[in-house]
């Protein structure tokens, strides 16, 4: 246990063997400690699309710690978010419910406080429940409090720091901070530096501004969030299991990165977006370099947290989870951001490692990020409420089954998606709202609508969709 994560990586030689300090425990997740209810570490970045990980050979993004986590656990290759928009997606996970049941249809509504969260269930069962970063459970009411604790207790947290997302922080607190991150910048006399930088990143072409921020490394928001999370672990009471959710603000747009990140991301060539007629190849490549740099910085923090768990002697009895609230179009189909029914928007990375979890499994089961809710509760030995739509992933994680759901659902506003593992149906999307059907076994880029040729398949998938609001 004396080796550091860096020392261990130096001895492994290859990326495949770069399993961070997880490999320091040859009988990882199976010992005396596993009899206790596990700690839960939930890494939850904002707008991280499903394929932008080191395990995708065609994308030169470097995520050695996430790759190592997958080698020590289970990586799901077909995971969807319940809704590709911040507030609905996060509400669905908090409630363990599908989009049509969670009562947060857009970014205009707050999470209904009469709807129990899994955070509350964990806390009531004896867990110390903590979180930091962008929660986005009160999107309709931009009130964080300068200490970031405004709604935490009501949501079920024991401790934490809730800060605004990138644009909410600027739009609400450019002159007078409303959240703890902008308050921190003002204390460091950096508020105007950050505001002026973001003002250059506004507008339709905001993705094209790939220049680094003038903020120092320690003042960059995701680094500030990462440090807050480590403090919360260290402040957790002894003798109680803890849950920590770390909500990074990246890799959400704009494409702001630090000068350190800029220096290491430029010597890479990415494939251009699918069916994009905007900008030239050089601009697209720079955008994708910045997006990758934000992800790699979050991966760096994952390694630091794993090292912290080792130093605390808690690695073997901690469930570690990595996912995202939704994806990012990155110019595919001439689209940017989220809110779309395409794979780049609804697909998310999902990796779990911890007690009793099989090692090195890549599962193609159909799973929703919303299924993490029941998974957390099962690990905490808490009964899963019948009102939840969430289904525990434990049968797959523990090697008892290979199948999970027959159909994956996602939705936002008027459109809905149903995916059965082979065909993906989209209804109510676009100006005409015409049905779109994609054969995902041949066309994962979703370039050919085959709805007119497969009316029976369209009918079958429509029957699986839930009723809209």
CA–CA dist 242, 237 (Å, integer): 8
Of 23-32, 91-100, 362-371, the least confident: 23-32
CA distances from 277 to 272, 387, 404 (A): 10, 46, 38
CA atoms of 163 and 180, how far apart (whole Å): 6
Which region among 212-221, 225-234, 280-289, 460-469 has the lowest average model confidence (pLDDT)?
A: 460-469
Q: State the DSSP code for 439.
A: E
Q: Give the residue range(s) of CATH 3.40.720.10 domains in the chain.
A: 36-406
In this prediction the pTM is 0.93
- Mean local confidence (pLDDT), 390-402: 98
Distance CA 275, CA 449 (A): 14
Query: So what's the pLDDT on residue 467?
Result: 57
Consecutive H or E run containing 283: helix 281-312
For the CA atoms of 101, 106, 109, 114, the dihedral, rounded to the nearest 10 degrees, stands at 10
Q: What is the mean pLDDT of residues 313-331?
A: 98
The fold for domain 36-406 equals Alkaline Phosphatase, subunit A (3.40.720)
Whole-number Å distance between alpha carbons of 80 and 368 = 5
Radius of gyration of the chain (CA): 21
* Distance, CA of 153 to chain centre: 23
Q: Mapping DSSP to helix (H, G, I), strand (E, B) and coil, where does residue 384 land?
A: coil
Over the stretch 179-198, which tens digit does the pLDDT of each residue have?
999 999 999 999 999 999 99
Q: Is 464 exposed, middle or buried (0-12, 13-18, 19+ CB in 10 A)?
A: middle
DSSP 54-119: TT-TTS----HHHHHHHHTSEEESSEE-SSSSHHHHHHHHHHT--GGGSS--STT-BPPTTS--HH
How far does Cα 229 stand from its chain's mean position? 16
Contacts of 31 (CB under 8 A, 6+ apart): 316
pLDDT at 53 over 50: yes
Q: In whole angstroms, what separates CA 155 from the centre of its chain?
A: 19
| pLDDT at residue 431, as a whole number | 83
């Amino acid at each position: 246990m004396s080796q550091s994560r860096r020392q261990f990586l130096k001895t492994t030689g290859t990326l495949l063997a770069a399993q961070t300090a997880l490999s320091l425990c040859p009988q990882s997740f199976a010992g005396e400690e596993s009899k206790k209810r596990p700690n839960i570490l939930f890494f939850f970045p904002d707008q991280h699309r499903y394929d932008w990980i080191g395990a995708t050979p065609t994308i030169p993004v470097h995520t050695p710690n996430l790759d190592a986590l997958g080698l020590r656990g289970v990586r799901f290759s077909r995971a969807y978010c319940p809704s590709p928009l911040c507030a609905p997606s996060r509400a669905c996970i908090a409630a363990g419910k599908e989009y049509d049941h969670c009562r947060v249809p857009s970014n205009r509504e707050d999470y209904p406080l009469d709807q129990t969260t899994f955070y509350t269930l964990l806390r009531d069962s004896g867990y110390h429940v903590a979180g930091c970063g962008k929660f986005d459970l009160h999107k309709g009411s931009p009130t964080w409090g300068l200490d970031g604790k405004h709604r935490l207790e009501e949501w079920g947290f024991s401790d934490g720091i809730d800060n605004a997302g990138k644009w909410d922080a600027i739009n609400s607190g450019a002159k007078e901070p409303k959240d703890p991150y902008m308050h921190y910048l003002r204390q460091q006399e950096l508020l105007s530096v950050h505001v002026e930088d973001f003002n250059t990143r506004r507008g339709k072409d905001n993705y094209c501004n790939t220049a680094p921020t003038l903020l120092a490394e320690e003042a960059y928001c995701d680094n500030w969030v990462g440090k807050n999370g480590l403090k919360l672990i260290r402040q957790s009471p002894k003798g109680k299991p803890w849950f920590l959710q770390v909500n990074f603000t990246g890799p959400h747009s704009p494409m702001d990165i630090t000068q350190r990140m800029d220096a290491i991301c430029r010597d890479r060539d990415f494939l251009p977006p699918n069916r994009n007629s905007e900008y030239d190849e050089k601009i697209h490549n720079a955008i994708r370099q910045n997006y990758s740099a934000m992800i790699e910085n979050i991966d760096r923090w994952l390694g630091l947290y794993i090292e912290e768990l080792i130093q605390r002697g808690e690695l073997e009895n901690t469930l570690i989870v990595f996912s995202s609230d939704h994806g990012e179009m990155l110019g595919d189909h001439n689209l940017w951001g989220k809110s779309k029914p395409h794979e780049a928007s609804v697909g998310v990375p999902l990796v779990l490692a911890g007690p009793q979890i099989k090692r090195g499994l890549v599962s193609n089961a159909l799973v929703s990020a919303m299924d993490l809710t029941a998974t957390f509760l099962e690990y905490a030995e808490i009964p899963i409420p019948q009102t939840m739509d969430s289904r525990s992933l434990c049968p797959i994680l523990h090697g008892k089954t290979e199948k999970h759901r027959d159909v994956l659902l996602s939705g936002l506003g008027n459109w809905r998606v149903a995916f059965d593992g082979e065909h993906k149906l989209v209804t109510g999307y676009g100006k005409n709202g015409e049905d779109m059907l994609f054969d995902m076994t041949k066309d994962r880029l979703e370039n050919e609508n085959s709805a007119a040729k497969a009316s029976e398949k369209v009918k079958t998938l429509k029957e699986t969709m839930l009723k809209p609001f």
